[in-house]
């Protein structure tokens, strides 16, 4: 399915036929259609629609005017209880921030997701790190340790990590609250908290995100804050696109960003239906 999604991401402008996609993954059209719909929840044709610029513009408009400004600003959870509503951020103390994680005990583990292998780590307060391990698990662990060089580490999948990983496999309405324990500046924490209000299936722009965070002219700084996001997917920096509707760059690859956005749009349609 990963190979099929990447094929759609790279070829959606040509409106590929079902037979072309199935051939790409060495399956019959019948079995591919059934498997794709079981995993994603919509047909390949519907998924292609989510990847188009026009659909991105529509989501931007709806997110800004309805979902973002009305549902979330009024404090309603909406009809779908999406996982973002259950994510909260706690910034680390100045001491934890400055001393490289001294006195912190960090559990970490690795997990396969629809978008690649990830490393996920947690303290006693919440998830502190989650990123793709594209260059291998050893390199990913070294990056984690460079973030918190003085912490104590244990390779252990704890309950906090398990709950956060349910976002890939479970009904989002059944998720418990996911708590994040993050190292970041006051500005970064504000941007990340504001981004959590953009619902799954919705999109925002750099300028809108800056405005909502109270830093109207800080679009470039917003981009830097997104690039420093320590918990990929849980803080959904992939939902920030250009005002034109172009998906744009992503720290972990434009193809992956398209795939995540399409996957979330499909999941959102399943929930609302």
Nearest-angstrom CA–CA distance, 90 and 96: 12
Nearest of 167, 93, 98, 143 to residue 123 by alpha carbon: 93
Nearest-angstrom CA–CA distance, 27 and 38: 15
Nearest of 6, 90, 70 to residue 202 by alpha carbon: 70
How far is CA 96 from each of CA 119, 141, 159, 269, rounded to the nearest angstrom? 21, 19, 23, 41
Q: Is 245 left (phi over 0), alpha (psi -120 to 50) or beta?
A: left
Eight-state DSSP code of residue 249: -
| 237 given a catalytic annotation | yes
Helices (H), the chain: 2-11, 18-24, 29-40, 44-50, 53-62, 94-98, 137-147, 159-165, 186-195, 206-212, 219-227, 254-272
CA 216 to chain centre: 24
**Parallel, antiparallel or unpaired: strands 178-182 and 116-122:** unpaired
The helix (run of H) or strand (run of E) holding residue 184 is: none
Backbone φ, ψ for residue 28 (5° rounding): -75, 155
Catalytic residue among 231, 237, 240, 260: 237
Active site residues: 237
């Amino acid at each position: 399915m990963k190979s099929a999604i990447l094929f759609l991401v790279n070829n959606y402008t040509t409106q590929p036929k079902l037979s072309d996609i199935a051939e790409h993954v060495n399956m019959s059209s019948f079995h591919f259609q059934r498997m794709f719909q079981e995993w994603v929840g919509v047909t390949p044709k519907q998924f292609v629609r989510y990847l188009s610029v026009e659909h991105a513009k529509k989501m931007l408009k709806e997110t800004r005017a309805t979902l973002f400004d009305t549902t979330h600003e009024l404090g309603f959870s909406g009809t779908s209880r999406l996982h973002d509503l259950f994510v909260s951020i706690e910034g680390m103390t100045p001491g934890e921030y400055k001393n490289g994680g001294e006195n912190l005990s960090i559990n970490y583990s690795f997990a396969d997701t629809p978008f690649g292998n990830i490393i996920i780590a947690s303290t006693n307060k919440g998830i502190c790190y989650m990123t793709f391990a594209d260059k291998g698990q050893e390199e990913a662990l070294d990056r984690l340790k460079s973030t918190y060089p003085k912490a104590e580490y244990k390779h252990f999948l704890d309950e906090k990590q398990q709950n956060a990983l349910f976002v890939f496999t479970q009904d989002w309405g059944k998720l418990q609250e996911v708590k994040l324990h993050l190292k970041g500046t006051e500005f970064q924490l504000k941007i990340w908290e504001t981004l959590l209000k953009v619902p799954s299936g919705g999109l925002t722009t750099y300028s809108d995100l800056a405005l909502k965070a109270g830093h109207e002219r800080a679009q470039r700084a917003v981009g830097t804050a997104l690039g420093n996001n320590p918990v990929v997917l849980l803080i959904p920096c992939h939902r920030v696109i250009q005002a034109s509707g172009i998906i744009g760059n992503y720290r972990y690859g434009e193809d992956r960003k398209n795939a995540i956005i399409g996957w979330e749009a499909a999941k959102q349609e399943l929930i609302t239906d």
